[in-house]
Chain A
Amino acid sequence: GAVVSQHPSWVICKSGTSVKIECRSLDFQATTMFWYRQFPKQSLMLMATSNEGSKATYEQGVEKDKFLINHASLTLSTLTVTSAHPEDSSFYICSARAQSGQPQHFGDGTRLSIL
Chain B
Amino acid sequence: GIQVEQSPPDLILQEGANSTLRCNFSDSVNNLQWFHQNPWGQLINLFYIPSGTKQNGRLSATTVATERYSLLYISSSQTTDSGVYFCAGPHSGNTPLVFGKGTRLSVIA
Contacts and interface: CB of A to CB of B under 8 A. Distances in A.
Interface of A: 32, 34, 36, 38, 42-46, 49, 91, 93, 95, 100-101, 103-106, 108-109, 111
Contact of B31 (A91, A103, A105): A103
Interface of B: 30-31, 33, 35, 40-43, 45, 48, 86, 88, 93-94, 96-102
Contact of B99 (A43, A101, A105): A43
B96 A49 contact: yes
Chain A interface SS verdict (over half): strand
B86 A43 contact: yes
Contacts, number: 49
A104 B97 contact: yes
Contacts of A103: 31, 33, 45, 48
A44 B31 CA distance: 18
A95 B97 contact: yes
A86 to B, nearest CB: 20
Contacts of A91: 41
Contacts of B99: 36, 43-45
A49 B94 CA distance: 10
Contact of B93 (A34, A43, A101, A111): A101
B48 A93 contact: no
Contacts of A93: 41, 43
